[in-house]
Structure 1
Amino acid sequence: MPSEGQTRTGEPVGEADDAYVDLFRKVTGARAQMAARALTRVLQAGAGSLVLDEHVRTWTDPDTGAEMTERRVRYLRPDWRAAAWWLVRVYSDQYGPHAKSWDQLLDELGVGQHPASLDAPDFTALAERLRRTLAQPDAELTSPLPASSP
């Protein structure tokens, strides 16, 4: 990958190339903004938060004389397909056409196939150590609450 002041072939960028470099930066920035806006609309469509129509009506209440405002907003119905489209494109390994099923992933990870030592753990040594620790009087192990007076 060329650095900031180099072309793709590694040659330094000259003053004659400044206009092209500037154009490249503008086009790259515009494409990134377009992609962000498109993704925002896809996610809004998936959540049902895309505004289709909005009307604001203002009037004076004849009884109270107060200025009243009514706002009516119509949203696009949530569509799971927009969210699915996004998932397939962003996380194609997990949600794309070649994604593996949970069973395949678990088999690859070896889940369900435990060594014999994990089937029947031996807790006798741990239990004995715990019994000895609890049997020892320790000055540092005091009650965290102060003694209450009657």
Structure 2
Amino acid sequence: RLDVIVDVSHLNEVSFYDVAAQAKRPFVATHSNAFIVCPHPRNLKDDQIRRIIETSGLIGLNFYTAFITADKMPDFDDFSRHIDHFLHLGGEDVLALGSDYDGADMPDFLNSAEKVEILYSSVVKCYGKKIADKIFYENAAGFMKKYREGK
């Protein structure tokens, strides 16, 4: 048996639930946002988000324009609506960054890795340092550590 981390980011909803039913360990959505905020078919619906939270998985916030808003160039407020929704569902400990910089269209405020520092400052201002640190590194590092330890 292979002990790999399963990423559900590119799965359709049926396949997501197949993974959820079979998974013995937490799984991840490395670059996905909230469907209720932006109805892109690859964004996660609330029940999917809850499943990842319940299993102590990980969800990486995607910077891709079409995953943030459907009808305009996103700004930080649009991006933060996804954070708000994940936090509302109890996702404080599963949120991370999942930029998807490899060829996707990015909003102006996130169009290069150099702007991540500005994003961090904005998240600190909106949500506080504790939440920002969790999203920016603690949750992902903690997930990898627990996974390596077999938890």
Query: Shorter chain as normaliser: what TM range?
Result: under 0.3
TM-score w.r.t. the length of structure 2 is 0.18
Max Rg structure: 1
Higher strand share: 1
